[in-house]
Amino acid sequence: MAVNLLDFDAAGLTAYFAGLGEKPFRARQVLRWIHRFGQGDFDAMTDIAKSLREKLKAEAVIVPPAIVSDKFSDDGARKFLFDVGGGNAVESVFIPEDERGTLCVSTQAGCALDCAFCSTGKQGFNRNLMAAEIIGQLWQVNRVLGVGLPGERMISNVVLMGMGEPLANFENSLTALRLMLDDNAYGLSRRRVTVSTSGLVPMMDRLGDECPIALAVSLHAPNDALRDELVPINRKYPLRELMTACLRYLEKAPRDFVTFEYVMLDGVNDSDEHARQLSSLTRKIPCKFNLIPFNPFPGSPFRRSSTPRIRRFADILMNAGIITTTRKTRGEDIDAACGQLAGQVMDKTRRSGRPLIGIHEVRSQ
């Protein structure tokens, strides 16, 4: 069976080439061709010896997930649907802005964390994506956007905030992250690559040790009783442990703050008292809050907090000295807004007895 070279970071590719009897610099050359130039044809790698190209053609492939659809929003956002096989499809969203271009990528087909407000979690989980399927989303979108020369980068930021919990697929996510940061691949700044987690404390520690990048934590509640209901992983890693883990992470992080994501659910977690509890909970943690207006989906019991309520909530946090922003909705007309990413999952957790086409969780985008 052919080896997919998209599954390898620099260390993995070097080891693979050593097995072929090749020197390490050959791995660096091929890494640049694949990721910096977006090249999937070994014959086009003109500074590689023909004998090695022939060997690679016989033993290896460069195969990203196939793009099933590519939709444009009136506001400039662009949504890509990727086929990851076995009846599963995941999505990425490219969000262009004046000073940056952000790509949101998925790390799992489905999600096992079962957050109360998350359609994906309710639908179930099938499998982790391979590293090739994670980095392949970036590889494909780069090619579609016309990137082909060193320094020609429309994607300046990557966020692992699509379908799935990145830290529950740690090894494959880590390989993809290392490629994003590698100067021979995508060369992104650690400050411009973000992992969003629901709070897997041991994996947060591992990420800090092995690949410290920007961190976003899906908080969504200011106390354990409410978070136990909304984000069940809190029952295993309650808020006190999570806040302590955030402080540990900041000792190694490239940014001097943690971003807390907070979906605004009408009458559930959006009261003045909730805001005051949040300011107390996070008072020792350098942080900023990103308030996310909830995007309802069919069958959801939740509603979006009103604009005045969100504004009042933000004011309380800001008056407590916490930088607070409200996420702007992008791509809503193509169901690419936060909480609207539609994928397809064959549910092996049996929460549903059918193939699932649904709306991704609120952390998406």
What amino acid occupies position 302?
F
The count of other CB atoms within 10 Å of the CB of residue 250 is 18
Closest CA to 97 of 75, 71, 115: 75
Q: Which CATH superfamily is domain 66-359 in?
A: Aldolase class I (3.20.20.70)
Task: Collapse the DSSP code of 154 into the 3-class scheme (helix H, G, I; strand E, B; otherwise coil) and give the result.
Answer: coil
pLDDT of residue 364: 34
Q: CA 194 to CA 185: how far, in whole Å? A: 17
- Dihedral angle over CA of 96, 97, 101, 104, nearest 10: -70
H or E element in which residue 250 lies: helix 239-250
The count of other CB atoms within 10 Å of the CB of residue 195 is 24
pLDDT of residue 354: 38
Closest CA to 287 of 246, 328, 316, 248: 246
Please identify which of the residues 104, 211, 246, 338 carries the catalytic annotation.
338
What amino acid occupies position 153?
R
End-to-end Cα distance, the chain: 35
Distances in Å between the Cα of 153 and the Cα atoms of 55, 245, 289 are 31, 34, 28
Fold designation for 3-61: DNA polymerase; domain 1 (1.10.150)
338 catalytic, yes or no?
yes
Please identify which of the residues 22, 91, 133, 165 carries the catalytic annotation.
91
What is the SS3 string spanning 124-140?
CEEEECCHHHHHHHHHH
Across-strand partners of 72? Answer: 78
Mean pLDDT by 10 residues, the chain (365 residues): 96 97 95 96 95 96 96 85 91 89 93 77 81 98 74 82 94 98 96 97 98 98 97 97 98 96 97 98 97 85 95 98 85 46 56 39 33
**CB-CB contact of 292 with 300 (8 Å):** no
* Burial (Cβ within 10 Å: 0-12, 13-18, ≥19) of residue 47: exposed
Paired sense of beta strands 60-61 and 66-72, if any: unpaired
211 catalytic, yes or no?
no
**CB-CB contact of 195 with 246 (8 Å):** no
What are the domain boundaries of the chain? 3-61, 66-359
Distances in Å between the Cα of 21 and the Cα atoms of 32, 33, 111, 233 are 20, 20, 40, 46
Q: CA 324 to CA 288: how far, in whole Å? A: 6
What amino acid occupies position 9?
D
Closest CA to 155 of 133, 131, 185: 185
**CB-CB contact of 214 with 221 (8 Å):** no
